[in-house]
Amino acid sequence: MSFRRFLLKRTLIAALLTLIAVSVIFATLRLLPADPFSGLVASGSLTPDEVDQMRALYGLDEPIYVQYYKYIQNLFSFQFGISLTQQRPVGDIIIPALVNTMVLLLPALVATAIVSSLAGMYAGWNRGSWFEQSSIVVTTVFRATPIFVTGIFLLIIFSYGLGWLPAFGMRSPLANPDGYLETYLSVDFLKHYLLPFTATVLFYSGDFLMLARNSVVERMGSEFLMLHRAKGLSEMEQLGRAGRNSLLPLVTYFALRTGMLFQGVITLEVVFAWPGIGRALVQAILNQDYPTVQAAVFIMALAVIIMNLTADVAYAKLDPTVEAGDV
């Protein structure tokens, strides 16, 4: 199979998976026993006639297939509509929240990938050493512990116990930054950033360490390293060659993990009250804010599927021994 055909096939599969994901969330929200306006009638905030007007305004009185068609059309044109509870464009809610999430997660993932991969390569090259054994034990413990538990543990020690770092949010209540630079490059932001950053690094470090370690172990007895030993290369030079040949699985896994980070971000953002897309999704679900829930799930599903596609393409393109059709 040619690379172009492979790319087209994978892209079509990604589009189909995205359609399935957003269709599931559409059906789930419509199957709920009550709509967002039912509670307003029970509390006396709105009359039944006013609720009917609100349903008509948001198109909730239309046949289900009409709602679905408009829903798909709007999502794939990135027109997310108006929030039912905040009465403002959903994009104004979701986009800043997405930026906050990416600012939290991407640097943490990059730092984890670099440090843990280097540590894993060194551990694999020195099999049986105290460094290999201790690094595997420590990272496995943190990987087996839910990320929100690690987050709570860090809060108890460094916020409530020692009082070194703030517990919640992205900035102090009195802070009023102007623009992205003042928001993300301030000392106040850094203090709020350290704990969720650390929780993310600890949770994902085991994946990269073990992947790098296993890749180096597999290549230690390979013919190309035996050739380098015969040429008189030093131990560190041999480790460098083995490390470079171990980068492919790390690159593809990095792409996969970037998309799947959204799986853990919801609990992490709730624990630290981080104003990201995961926390926005939780609040929208509690308020039955259909447009915001649909937009948040769409963006998360799209991120996972796009990064999976990127991993497939990277693997097929970077590994000359693998045919595109085999991926």
DSSP track, 164-219: -S--SSSS-TT----HHHHHHSSHHHHHHHHHHHHHHHHHHHHHHHHHHHHHHHHH
Residues 131 and 262 in one domain: yes
In a domain, 262, yes or no: yes
Distance CA(126)–CA(163), nearest Å, equals 39
Residues 116 and 167 in one domain: yes
Copy the structure tokens of residue 181: 């630079």
Q: State phi, psi for 216 to the nearest 5 degrees.
A: -65, -40
Number of C-beta neighbours around residue 255 at 10 A: 20
What is the chain's pLDDT, residue by residue, as a tens digit (327 residues)? 566 776 777 778 777 877 887 888 788 777 766 666 665 566 556 666 776 777 777 677 778 888 888 888 877 777 877 887 777 888 888 888 888 888 888 888 888 888 888 888 778 777 778 888 888 888 888 888 888 888 888 889 888 888 888 888 777 766 666 666 667 777 878 888 888 888 888 888 877 788 777 777 666 655 555 555 555 555 555 555 554 555 666 666 666 666 666 666 778 888 888 888 888 888 888 777 878 888 888 888 777 777 777 767 766 665 544 454 445
Residue the block writes with tokens 């099999």: 127
Helix (H) / strand (E) element for 166: namely none
In a domain, 117, yes or no: yes
Under DSSP, the state recorded for 59 is: T
Residues 70 and 104 in one domain: no
Q: Are 216 and 125 within 8 A, CB to CB?
A: yes
Residues 164 and 213 in one domain: yes
Residues 9 and 115 in one domain: no
Q: Which domain holds residue 52?
A: 3-76
Extended strands (E) in the chain: none
Residues 193 and 290 in one domain: yes
Residues 68 and 101 in one domain: no
Q: Which of 76, 111, 131 is the last residue of a domain?
A: 76
In a domain, 192, yes or no: yes
In a domain, 196, yes or no: yes
Q: Which residues pair with 89 in a beta bridge?
A: 82
Q: Which of 22, 44, 76 is the last residue of a domain?
A: 76
- Which CATH number is 117's domain given? 1.10.3720.10
Q: Are 177 and 183 within 8 A, CB to CB?
A: yes
Give the closest residue to 135 by CA, choosing from 148, 122, 151, 150: 122
In a domain, 52, yes or no: yes
Residues 293 and 184 in one domain: yes
Q: Are 309 and 11 within 8 A, CB to CB?
A: yes
Q: Structurally, how many domains does the chain consist of?
A: 2
Residues 22 and 146 in one domain: no
Distance CA(64)–CA(299), nearest Å, equals 23
In a domain, 13, yes or no: yes
In a domain, 190, yes or no: yes
In a domain, 82, yes or no: no
Residues 45 and 112 in one domain: no
Number of C-beta neighbours around residue 281 at 10 A: 25
Residues 164 and 41 in one domain: no
Residues 194 and 105 in one domain: yes
Q: Are 249 and 314 within 8 A, CB to CB?
A: no
Give the alpha-carbon dihedral of 275, 277, 283, 288, to 10 degrees: 160
Q: Which of 44, 76, 108 is the last residue of a domain?
A: 76
Q: How far is CA 1 from the centre of its chain?
A: 32
